[in-house]
Amino acid sequence: MSASIPQPVDVLPHRDPFLFLTEVTGYEAGSWAEGYWQLGDDEAFFAGHFPGRPTLPGVLMCEAIAQLGAYVVLLDERFVGRIPLFGGLDGARFRRQVLPGDRLDLRIDVQRMSARAGKATGTASVGGERACSAEVMFVIG
């Protein structure tokens, strides 16, 4: 990881077990970001979703996309020390299963942002194959 790219834990208020962003690999503050979530084989939710056939819940893919969105928003100097909160989720589509040990590659593009709210589009993929896409709306708390 480049020394010029801040660690997610240094930007986001999220902490284990709810920090789903392992590393950010590129960004432009307030505009776009790319990163990933490296899933372990022993994530607690895999035990119950589903026993004998573990798969990443779609809502957690959406949360990972939203966390990358929060990361890119919080790097914008206008929003340092604030907190972006979910305002809505539109057009979420799930295309493939995500399994234990997979690397979930993430991309977010901010479409519009004001002093109080914004909208972004995001994708999550595994091995170049799209797993999830969604439009995320957020409010700045």
Model confidence pLDDT, tens digit, residues 23-71: 999 999 999 999 999 999 999 999 999 999 999 999 999 999 999 999 9
What integer pLDDT is reported at residue 3 of this predicted model? 65
- The rounded distance, in Å, linking the Cα atoms of 127 and 110 is 24
- Using CA atoms, how far residue 61 sits from 5, 77, 81, in Å, is 22, 27, 25
Residue 14: active-site member: no
pLDDT at 97 over 70: yes
Catalytic residue among 14, 19, 49, 83: 49
Is the separation of the CB atoms in 55 and 98 below 8 Å? Answer: yes
d(CA 133, CA 5): 24
How far apart CA 46 and CA 57 sit, in angstroms, is 9
Domain boundaries, the chain: 14-140
Q: Does 2 score more than 80 pLDDT?
A: no
pLDDT exceeding 90 applies to what percent of the chain?
95
User: Where does the pLDDT of residue 80 fall: very low under 50, low under 70, confident under 90, or very high at 90 and above?
Assistant: confident
Average pLDDT over residues 84-95: 96
3-state secondary structure of 60: helix
What CATH code would you report for 14-140? 3.10.129.10
